[in-house]
Chains A and B, each alone.
Chain A
Amino acid sequence: MSVLINIPDSAAPGEIIEIKLLIQHPMETGFRTGPDGALVPRDIIESVTCLYLGEEVFRADLYPAITANPFVGFHLRADTTGEIEFIWTDNAGVTSREARTLTVA
């Protein structure tokens, strides 16, 4: 499972940047039946969080109505150079993490 993160490397102080995430994941709803007629267990990403210098600046709670390979786009006001961290968690509690450095100058 991988992730695509679209975020600029640098921004001017106070600039509002756009961040986009695409996560490789089936987002199995838990409502579907498999070929054997049995329900396929739910397997979804439930939350996608963005931390900026350790502080939560954005979170998306996702439900089964989000597409396979979920996509989330949002904004952030850049003011300090530092780490932007992305954390996503599935309904089994498994957490994945990726980070990027944003240079503000």
Chain B
Amino acid sequence: MRRAIVFTVAFLLPGLAWSDDRRTGYDDMNADLQALQDDPMNPATFWVLDGERLWSEPAGTTAQSCADCHGSAEDSMQGVAARYPSFDESSGTAVDLLGRIALCQSRHQQTAQPRDRSDPDRLALLAYVTHQSRGLPIMPDEDPRLAPARARGEALFSSRMGQLNLSCAQCHDDNAGGYLAAARIPQAHPTGYPQYRLEWETIGSLDRRLAGCMTGVRADPFAPGSPELVALELFLKSRAAGLTVEALPIRP
């Protein structure tokens, strides 16, 4: 199993010595911000608590709660976030964890649709489900049906975009560790989403972060939950395989 993952990553990124020199966003933060993340009195905790409450609240026309079907999240959701995105049988597409939760809300709870992807309750559920994978290594789903989307993500990662005509790879592979204004350019490992960003003063998903980067290069961001963003996440997760899931992190 582990060998298969290593193989996948090596296959996707030939020549990247990933086991030694990968740095997470946590590694790149200063000591004050690391201390805030490590402090139990950290604002991200509120969303985990909100999610915990929502987990057992009946919702939608079926009036079923997440707990009615999934039982204790500590058992059923352990490791799930570490493995997502995953393949959805009925639609035949890759879905990210936020998309999966949205599907459970529409298919199984039959809540009113459409609901905004960044709906605060849904983000809180995402926070709570992700929290059940804290400290676990990222283990990308090996379902072969995900391979095309993952390959598309890899291609997108090195596609130039926007008026600045920059690709993700130009910053996060070629210039990682350098500085953009005063901000250190990270290697862009998605070890901690959703996250509490001081810039946002709230939690947000990887969607929102990637949209920020795309706006930064003056490109029209891909829509939240779009196949492009799920593809990018698939690639980023393979690139980050083995790194530890942070739940929930603080970022500047």
Q: Which residues of A contact B (CB under 8 A)?
A: 2, 4, 6, 20, 22, 24, 26-27, 67-69, 71
Set of chain A residues within 8 Å of B50, measured between Cβ atoms = 2
Q: Is the CB of A24 within 8 A of B41?
A: no
Q: Does B26 contact A (CB under 8 A)?
A: no
Is the Cβ of B49 less than 8 Å from the Cβ of A69?
Answer: no
Chain B neighbourhood of A20, CB < 8 A: 41
Whether the pair A67, B201 counts as a contact (CB closer than 8 A) is yes
11 pairs of residues in contact across A and B, judged by CB atoms under 8 Å: A2-B49, A4-B40, A20-B41, A22-B45, A24-B43, A24-B46, A26-B201, A27-B201, A68-B43, A68-B202, A71-B41
What total count of A-B pairs have CB within 8 Å?
28
User: Within 8 Å CB of B41, what residues of A?
Assistant: 4, 6, 20, 22, 71
Q: Which residues of B contact A (CB under 8 A)?
A: 40-43, 45-46, 49-50, 201-202
| Bound-state Cα–Cα, A4 to B45, Å | 9
Contact B43 A69 (CB under 8 A): yes
Residues of chain A contacted by B49 (CB below 8 angstroms): 2
Query: Would A68 and B201 be within 8 Å (CB), given that A4-B41, A22-B41 are in contact?
Result: yes
Q: Which residue of the partner chain B has the closest CB to A69?
A: B43
Question: Would you give the shortest CB distance from A9 to chain B, in whole angstroms?
Answer: 16
- Chain A residue at minimum C-beta to C-beta distance from B53: A2
CB-CB < 8 A to A4: which residues of B?
40-41, 45-46
Chain A nearest CB from B241 CB (Å) reads: 33
Which residue of B42, B46, B201 is within 8 Å of A2 (Cβ)? B46
Q: State A3–B49 Cα separation when bound (angstroms).
A: 10
Q: How far is the CB of A93 from chain B (nearest CB, A)?
A: 23
Say how far A12's CB is from chain B's closest CB, in angstroms. 24
Q: How far is the CA of A24 from the CA of B49 in the complex (A)?
A: 11
Q: Which 4 A-B pairs have the closest CB atoms?
A: A69-B43, A68-B201, A24-B46, A22-B41
Additional A-B contact list (12), CB under 8 Å, known A4-B46, A24-B46, A26-B202: A2-B46, A2-B49, A4-B41, A6-B40, A6-B41, A20-B41, A22-B42, A22-B45, A24-B43, A27-B201, A69-B43, A69-B46
